[in-house]
Structure 1
Amino acid sequence: MTQFKIAFFDIDGTLADNELPRDLGIIERIPSSAKEALRQLKQNGIEPVIASGRNYLMLQEFATELGVESLVASNGTQVLYKGKELACYPIPPSLLKETMLAFDQQQIHYIIETPDRFLATSEKVATEDAAAKYIEYVTDIKTLPADVIQLIVRLEDRRSIQIKNELLVAEKVAPVVMDVHLAHVSKATGVHEILKKLNIKPEEALAFGDEENDLAMFDAVGYPIAMGNACDALKEKAKFVTSKVDEDGIWQACQKLGLVK
């Protein structure tokens, strides 16, 4: 069997149980077996990396507690190795304005995301979103930040949103959330950045995921693992489908591969 050197983990629905109340916080929603798996992986020379649609601000709060030093944040639009930024991909201002105008016309509410700020022009979104503590409510944005990496869209009564400009993509990251970012950027490009930095081959890498925004990441590693609660498309692409988050899926997969005891 291949000697694995690195393992990439999605958060929501993979490491963290989405069925538990969100007010528990992420670290409280991660099963103790998953935390132990990450600890043993690192102890056994396999570097754990978080690859998430979530922003660096959110991830850094608990990554250290999990012993994770490197992050593929915001769907690969920001990549950090041991706290130092490897890559960042902001949306060009003209493209951003064009997209925001189209959303405003369709009454689509969104959050503007930079590596270290969240802005919302909808008071409802700013105060009721799960990430409300990070969001600044602004009545009008006269000058857009130069480093906007994503627009986060709450679907509400929509099943999806359509992006007309092919330079952007809308990725489903949760049942009611889509992230809009540059189309050539993904968790996969973030994985490649980390692998290149560490001189690790794709076949020496594992990845765990559950949602559509993990599809590209699965193509970037040698051994993709889908959670039991994953979407069907991801299960079809996986080399192994483990149990659900709350059924110790991370631990069981690592145990099956002989990576933990």
Structure 2
Amino acid sequence: MNRIELVVSDVDGTLLTRDKALTDRARAAVHQLHQRGIGFTITSSRPTIGMHFLAAPLAISLPIGPFNGSSIVDPQMKPIEQHLLPASATQSSLDLLAEYGIDIWLFTNELWLTRNGHGEYVPHEKRAIKADPTVIDDFTPYVTRACKVVGSSSDPDLLIRCEQLMQETLGGQATAVRSQSYYLDVTPPGHNKGTFVQAIAKRLGIATDAVASIGDMQNDLAMFDVSGFSIAMGNATDEVKKHADRVTASNDEEGFAIAMEMILEENSKR
């Protein structure tokens, strides 16, 4: 492992526990990174409105990457760089998810929109992002403003099949990838967690070989691919683990903090 100068972390399933809590040990580990001069930031499939509560306790001063890194915002959540889904890709995504009977959410930079305020995962998302959805009858007025479309389902096999079909249907028009076993995200083309890592490394004037990334899901593989060192959580799928340089404990067993402590220890030897 090269000397690490920047750590980029996923949020759900990685930085936070299953109950969406930031542990004292995780917070302390990030503050130790700061003290050692190691940059730290986060990227997530979460919308912008679901990231703000982490910036202050983690003393994040670098840009943050919501919507799987397809948007870049400052720690006050003001847009630095924002990309929208092509309207045709948004409409195709809505149509395909509806055809499979999957609950649909559409996110703009400011709003979480749904036609079903009582959807199975609505309470979960409300707790996670600390925001309420806006219930609407029709997505049509928002098709040209979409930062992300999400399909949520408790049938993981259905989402895997839908992910594959969505990728075939959209081609290069958008990126379709699962951020959780129960969420399928459709985000703007050409931008992902990997391009976010590259953008932050460039901003700091460092090589991506000096970046460590940590995550647990398929959407994290893009940043694993461009980082000098990658860490999979113990709760990650076997597919994600095999793409990582190291595997830590699960998010409910302080896996994030353990990984940060390992980076600090390894850096101290260099």
* TM-score bin (small chain): 0.7 to 0.9
Unaligned runs of 5+ in 1: 21-25
Are residue 155 (structure 1) and residue 157 (structure 2) matched?
Answer: no
Are residue 242 (structure 1) and residue 248 (structure 2) matched?
Answer: yes
Are residue 130 (structure 1) and residue 124 (structure 2) matched?
Answer: yes
Are residue 106 (structure 1) and residue 100 (structure 2) matched?
Answer: yes
Structure 1 residues 243 and 120, CA gap change in structure 2 (3 angstroms): same
Match of 1:67 in 2: 59
Q: Percent identity?
A: 25
> What secondary structure, in the 3-state scheme, does the structure 2 residue paired with 1:256 have?
helix
Amino acid at match of 2:179: V
CA-based RMSD of the aligned residues comes to 2.1
Q: Which has the higher helix share?
A: 2
| CA–CA distance in structure 1, aligned partners of residues 148 and 140 of structure 2 | 18
The number of aligned residues is 252
Query: Which one of 188, 191, 213 corresponds to residue 182 of structure 1?
Result: 188
Amino acid at match of 1:78: S
Query: Which one of 69, 72, 75 corresponds to residue 79 of structure 1?
Result: 72
Match of 2:32 in 1: 40
Are residue 165 (structure 1) and residue 159 (structure 2) matched?
Answer: no
> What secondary structure, in the 3-state scheme, does the structure 1 residue paired with 2:51 have?
helix
| CA–CA distance in structure 2, aligned partners of residues 135 and 231 of structure 1 | 30
> Could you tell me whether the CA contact under 8 Å between 2:121 and 2:152 is conserved in 1?
no
| TM-score where L is the length of structure 2 | 0.85
Are residue 221 (structure 1) and residue 230 (structure 2) matched?
Answer: no
The range that moved more, 82-91 or 177-186, is: 82-91
Give a deviation string over 1:55-107, Cα, whole Å, max 9, x none: 11111122212212331111012112444533222011233223323333333
Q: Which has the higher strand share?
A: 1
> Could you tell me whether the CA contact under 8 Å between 1:229 and 1:244 is conserved in 2?
yes
Query: Which one of 128, 138, 141 corresponds to residue 140 of structure 1?
Result: 138
Unaligned runs of 5+ in 2: none
Shift of 1:159: 3.7
> What secondary structure, in the 3-state scheme, does the structure 1 residue paired with 2:142 have?
coil
> Could you tell me whether the CA contact under 8 Å between 2:177 and 2:219 is conserved in 1?
yes
Match of 1:54 in 2: 46
| TM-score where L is the length of structure 1 | 0.88
The range that moved more, 112-121 or 101-110, is: 101-110
